[in-house]
Chain A
Amino acid sequence: KAGVTQTPRYLIKTRGQQVTLSCSPISGHRSVSWYQQTPGQGLQFLFEYFSETQRNKGNFPGRFSGRQFSNSRSEMNVSTLELGDSALYLCASSLGRTSGVVTQYFGPGTRLLVL
């Protein structure tokens, strides 16, 4: 099976702009989670989508949003970019069971630089 893919891999934006990142999960996986990775804060959970619905949400401002399509692909949007949004954004997919152990598989990430 192909792994989780993320596009684009690298992105440079300026403050105030908005950005959309895309994630294609492993075939058959219905859950997609997004994480922000920075040297200072480590890996932080943004949100999780399952069957086109946001099921979990982390502690990020409303500028961070996402959606999931019927084919389980997911997009993450950040509006009004700030310098502090510079990070590696990771997407992880899983089968999405609501019970039992959930194993997540990570994509390579999109590295966003805000100037």
Chain B
Amino acid sequence: AQRVTQPEKLLSVFKGAPVELKCNYSYSGSPELFWYVQYSRQRLQLLLRHISRESIKGFTADLNKGETSFHLKKPFAQEEDSAMYYCALNTNAGKSTFGDGTTLTVKP
């Protein structure tokens, strides 16, 4: 069965510091991984897809199949990055398995 683990429920960094939100997955097939973000009082929105290999709002994430990880990174955190971040594994069309989420707080 598939599983997504986000080991940190809470993460706090100072503005300008690097940030890394960890995500590990367990899946026997070829994974499709995503990062979603939920800002306060807003809907869940897509941040990154592993297949796109893009940088959104300064965030990047690299799929490491050897370590079964998909960590989200940003070199210089901003206060507006404070939000809840979810890592998700899509295994079958419209079915995603989500991690428990990490609440990121960026302090001024």
Contact = CB atoms under 8 A, between A and B. Distances in A.
A48 B91 CA distance: 13
Chain B contact-residue range equals 20 to 34
Q: Is the interface of A mostly helix, strand, loop or mixed?
A: strand
Contacts of A104: 46, 90, 94, 96
Interface residues of A, number: 29
B94 A102 contact: yes
B32 interface: yes
Interface in B28-68: 32, 34, 36, 43-46, 49, 51
B95 A48 contact: yes
Q: Is the interface of B mostly helix, strand, loop or mixed?
A: strand
A56 B43 contact: no
A15 interface: no
Contact of A42 (B32, B92, B95, B99): B99
16 contacts: A32-B94, A42-B98, A42-B100, A42-B101, A45-B97, A48-B95, A56-B93, A58-B95, A90-B44, A94-B93, A94-B94, A101-B51, A102-B94, A104-B90, A106-B44, A108-B43
A-B residue pairs, 10 tightest by C-beta: A48-B94, A43-B98, A33-B94, A106-B44, A56-B95, A31-B94, A42-B100, A108-B43, A101-B51, A101-B32
